[in-house]
Amino acid sequence: MIRALPLFAALTILMTWPQAIHMASHGAEHQDVFFNMWRLSWIAHALSTSPSRLFDGNIFYPESGALTLSDAMLVEGLAGAPLIWMGLPNMLVHNLLLLGAITASGAGMFVLARHLTGSRAAGVIAGIIFAYAPYRFEHYMHMELQWTVWMPWAFWALQRTCETGRWRFGALAGLFVGLQMASSIYYGLFLAMLQGLASLLSLITVPRERLIRTIASLALGGVVAGVLVGTYAIPYLRTRERVGVRSIEETRMFSAKPRNYLVAPEGNFLYGGRRGQGERRLLPGLLAVVLALTGLLLRPPAKVQIVYVIALVLAFEMSLGMYGYTYRFLYERAPPFQSLRAPARLGIFVVFFLAALAAYGYAALEAAARPVVRRVMPVAFAGVLILEYWTVPLTLTRYDNDPPPLYAWLAQQPRGIVAEFPMPAPNGLPHEEPRYAYMSTFHWMPTVNGYSGYVPPGYLRGLEAMKHFPSDASVMRLRREGVRYVIVHDYPADRDAYARTLYTLTSHGLSHLGSFSDGRVAASVFALR
């Protein structure tokens, strides 16, 4: 593991170039990058000020539990908090966690594949497939979807449990499921189910004299996972009662179809260019498939390979969501699956199992090759994979690491509730709400604005009431909600509208506190009396 980390760190720098030399920027201009930084910053802020209110973010005022309206990224937040407390810029912390997760995922896959096959080179090949498949670049803006760190370790612990029957490996298998849940709720649920299936199937590989002990160890792992997952789920269950579940239509929209596994992201060097729908560009690469088939056909498959084939087929079928059978069955009968929007995210598990099977294929070829060929095989196969997965140099977007003048000024003012305009119409989300949420990290005042995976009903009602801002009724609502600071950002598309808004607010008796740059355009701040 330790020796693999430098290799995968170098590969991560190569595959995400030029991200590593521009750590104040990000390779995606996307609202979720703002949201990532808000979540990381909020966790660090809450832990240092009021840990008991960890899940009560400052956005969507007066809603509670704002952090549970989406994946809280608790592990990522805990890992990033010391860096934020040290004063490192937000985007630097974000990118360190992002690139670190990709690197650690590849190294973890290396450990698992090397253990399964006995080949270090096969471990490297599997790690490359898992860490740099096109799926990674399709979700480059989604921090929690890069945190696949615990998947290989969960299956490594499962394998060690079946080999030894030891309690500690069973407990580790459950611990890694819990850590995956706290890193990414999607992946945690999917991992718990797929590892549960693999555990049952793996029992056929256990000798009779060790069977009872192995079952007991796996049961211990199940208890550990259940306690961790159950505890983490408590605040989410409260939020679910308020915001409801995903509709079948919404889930179908983000369900994969078999043909999606033939489509790569547009930036992919070899296969890009074919336009596909977001989150449903799931091409795993040709060489990975060829190697996996080679491992199954070149010599009789091991029992573990059969287990991984079955798990791969299930992951693929579940990724079809409402176009398949298993996911629809779970949606109708298992409440946690009703809160997930994108079954296509199971595509990373297809890549995971394919990587493990590809390691077997590489190991079979390696064993059959002559010594001279064996020495060049790792470089040749790794080179082909890198070419397949290569994404044209990322186009980087710079994000604010320091507060623009508006928010630096606001941080020095008496504490109060903030409302920023223009707000989007309920059917026009998210507009500028993700940036408003991130900018609140520079002052940490409660704000009626917000952005998340779920949208609270009260927030939607507020947007409806603000459609005619700055009308008398909208200003009265702001007064009732206790808003202290009203920030109006310039309307670049309609400069006259901005001037009219400022005049109307003054006529309503609001005090004009000043005009500042918000980092993009001018903005005026008013105080409600």
Q: Are residues 296 and 219 in the same domain?
A: yes
Q: Are residues 318 and 207 in the same domain?
A: yes
The boundaries of the domain holding residue 228 are 4-24+89-389
Q: Are residues 361 and 508 in the same domain?
A: no
Q: Are residues 308 and 417 in the same domain?
A: no
Q: Are residues 473 and 353 in the same domain?
A: no
Q: Are residues 351 and 409 in the same domain?
A: no
Residue 147, in any domain of the structure: yes
Q: Which long-range contacts (CB under 8 A, 24 or more apart) does 136-140 make?
A: 136/102, 137/265, 137/267, 137/268, 137/391, 138/265, 138/278, 138/279, 138/281, 138/282, 139/279, 139/345, 140/16, 140/27, 140/28, 140/98, 140/394
- Average confidence (pLDDT) over 494-509: 89
pLDDT tens string 190-245: 999 999 999 999 998 899 999 999 999 999 999 999 999 999 999 999 999 999 99
Residue 61, in any domain of the structure: no
pLDDT tens string 34-88: 999 999 999 999 999 999 999 999 999 999 999 999 999 999 999 999 999 999 9
Q: How many folded domains does the chain comprise?
A: 2
Instruction: Give the end of a domain, one of 356, 389, 422.
Output: 389
Residue 60, in any domain of the structure: no
Residue 131, in any domain of the structure: yes
Q: Are residues 337 and 486 in the same domain?
A: no
Residue 399, in any domain of the structure: no
Q: Are residues 277 and 128 in the same domain?
A: yes
Q: State pTM to two decimals.
A: 0.95
pLDDT tens string 288-330: 999 999 999 999 999 999 999 999 999 999 999 999 999 999 9
Residue 84, in any domain of the structure: no
Quote the CA–CA distance of 47 and 79 in Å, as a whole number: 12
Residue 70, in any domain of the structure: no
Of 2-11, 27-36, 76-85, which has the strongest mean pLDDT? 76-85
Instruction: Give the end of a domain, one of 364, 389, 414.
Output: 389
Q: Are residues 375 and 321 in the same domain?
A: yes
pLDDT tens string 461-493: 999 999 999 999 999 999 999 999 999 999 877
Burial of 262 (0-12, 13-18, 19+ CB in 10 A): middle
Residue 395, in any domain of the structure: no
Q: Are residues 422 and 360 in the same domain?
A: no
Residue 274 predicted with pLDDT over 70: no
Q: Are residues 370 and 482 in the same domain?
A: no
Instruction: Give the end of a domain, one of 357, 389, 421.
Output: 389
Q: Are residues 366 and 414 in the same domain?
A: no
